[in-house]
Amino acid sequence: MGWSINLFRIRGIQLSVHFSFLLLMAYFGWEGWQDSGMTGLCWSLAALVAFFTCVVLHELGHSFTARRFGVGIRRILLMPIGGMAEFDSIPRQPSRELLITLAGPAVNFAIAAALWPIVGSLRDWDSGAFPSSLGDFGRLLFYANLVMGTFNLAPVFPMDGGRILRALLAIRLPYLRATYWAATVGKVLAVLGALHAMYHNYPLRAALFIFIFLAGEGEYRAVKRQDLAEAAWRAWAARLATPAPPEPPILTESRGP
């Protein structure tokens, strides 16, 4: 994650792109050029930038909601597989985590709802083709936001759906246990998603699921370390607060003549 380029700040939140994102832009530009020359290159790059603008808006939905609960946001990082908002911490109150998590997909559905009167029907539109008109461009964004919002609700921790599952489980279970079950469900689904993507020759999608698998396991381990550290501090504080037992009286022996 260190190979990133800082772009600008949005209401104090740093927006950065990973170095590999430039390779994705080069690939899309080349594909557009191969399809329709300079026109295809421009439309392809414009579609990519517009899509990741929606990704940024998704992450800003999470970030601005988290700020209302006093959570600090370090930055939003864009990668070829999507975006990631880096928080200082995640609230352990289920209601707060639910609101923060739902805010991201809600932004995508709001964008899709705003575009619907403009783009009309998706009938006879090829979602796999490069856009060649403003109408196709709008349909692509409408479709992309629907897919982004829906896909993020899949219960694959630490994606939004997995965090929603963790928050619901945390209503009845300890936070660490809820994280364990959310991460376990997420890892199983991530493995199935990666196998499906590799079978159908979607390498970028497979990489996304592998990243999700590793990120879910990493976050569970981080929560576990935090709980162990807090338990150790509580035990240490309890020992300091416990008064020492009184020392036994010193007995002296006296002897007669």
pLDDT tens figures, 52-77 = 999 999 999 999 999 999 999 989 99
- Two tokens, residue 218: 């990493």
Give the pLDDT band of residue 231 (cuts 50, 70, 90): confident
Q: Which residue range(s) make up the domain with 18?
A: 1-153
Residue 192 CA to residue 205 CA, distance in Å, equals 12
Give the pLDDT band of residue 121 (cuts 50, 70, 90): low
Residue owning tokens 């829906």 = 150
| CA end-to-end distance (rounded Å), the chain | 87
**What are φ and ψ of residue 12, in 5° steps?**
85, -5
Residue where one domain finishes, among candidates 102, 131, 153:
153
Catalytic-labelled residue, pool 31, 59, 86, 219: 59
- Two tokens, residue 31: 């594909």
Give the pLDDT band of residue 235 (cuts 50, 70, 90): confident
CB within 8 Å of 218: residues ≥ 6 apart? none
* Residue 59 annotated among the catalytic residues of the structure: yes
Residue where one domain finishes, among candidates 153, 170, 192:
153
Asked whether residue 246 is domain-assigned, the answer is no
Indicate the number of domains in the chain: 2
- 96 with 176, same domain: the answer is no
Asked whether residue 252 is domain-assigned, the answer is no
> Which range has the worst mean pLDDT, 115-119, 166-170, 171-175, 221-225?
115-119
- Two tokens, residue 248: 């036994």
The answer to whether 32 and 40 have CB atoms below 8 angstroms apart is yes
Asked whether residue 165 is domain-assigned, the answer is yes
The long-range contacts involving 184-192, CB below 8 angstroms and separated by at least 24 positions, are 185/155, 185/156, 185/157, 186/155, 186/156, 186/157, 186/158, 186/159, 186/162, 186/212, 186/213, 186/216, 187/157, 187/213, 187/216, 187/217, 189/154, 189/155, 189/156, 190/156, 190/216
CB within 8 Å of 102: residues ≥ 6 apart? 160, 164
* % of the chain residues with pLDDT over 90: 36
**pLDDT recorded at residue 123:** 62
Asked whether residue 248 is domain-assigned, the answer is no
State the Rg of the chain over Cα.
26
- 15 with 84, same domain: the answer is yes
The answer to whether 165 and 179 have CB atoms below 8 angstroms apart is no
CA distances from residue 210 to 31, 40, 90, 128, 207 in whole angstroms, order as listed: 25, 31, 23, 24, 5
Give the pLDDT band of residue 129 (cuts 50, 70, 90): low
